[in-house]
Amino acid sequence: MIQNMRVIEISGAPFYEFLLKDKDKNEKRIVADVLTGKIRSAISEAEARKLAVEAVSKPLKINEVIYLTEENVGGHHEYREKPLPAWAVTFENNLTVYLSAETGQVGAFRTNRWRIFDFLWMLNTIDFNGRDNINNYVLRGFSILGIVTVFSGFLLFFISSKYFRNLIKR
């Protein structure tokens, strides 16, 4: 069943992108040429290199190109919760461009600044696996500890305040 359809551009040419879902909610993307209707195959490594170079503002040298699948992307990978398979094109300045292997669309840009942010976000959410679960028991425990600390501060203020001690003595 067709779930979604849109027109995308791959190397200057228009294509239809169809998102299909079956009964088991498995997703599949099909890309077809707008003019001919011919279904396009997945992008190759050479096309991924070309599309990644087009996606960056300055011409950079490519260091590495990796094909990402479910098997080689774990929970700690910086390209999480995005459609797979994908191409990871890494440039000389540690910029990585992630492209969908099915559609050729840029899924994410990852820089060293983003990696620092992601590390700090992981520490903030205290989710060391997926980094996006803000409903874990460790974070809940620290939240409860913070609330207890605030209320104990209010209690200590009232106990040690001369005004309230005089009010109680009357």
Domain locations in the chain as residue ranges: 1-40, 42-134, 135-170
Q: What is the pTM of this model?
A: 0.76
pLDDT at 75: 64
Higher pLDDT, 71 or 110: 110
pLDDT tens string 82-99:
888 999 999 999 999 999
What distance in Å separates the CA atoms of residue 169 and residue 1, rounded to the nearest whole number? 77
Give the model's confidence band at 124: pLDDT under 50 very low, under 70 low, under 90 confident, else very high. Answer: confident
pLDDT at 154: 93
Q: What is each CA distance from 125 to 80, 110, 116, 134, 149, in whole angstroms?
A: 16, 20, 14, 5, 20
Give the model's confidence band at 59: pLDDT under 50 very low, under 70 low, under 90 confident, else very high. Answer: confident
Task: Give residues with Cβ within 8 angstroms of 128, minimum separation 6.
Answer: 122
What distance in Å separates the CA atoms of residue 24 and residue 88, rounded to the nearest whole number? 29
Residue 112, classified by CB atoms within 10 Å of its CB into exposed (0-12), middle (13-18) or buried (19+), is exposed
> How many H-runs (helices) and E-runs (strands) does the chain carry?
4, 8
What kind and span of H or E run contains 28? strand 27-33
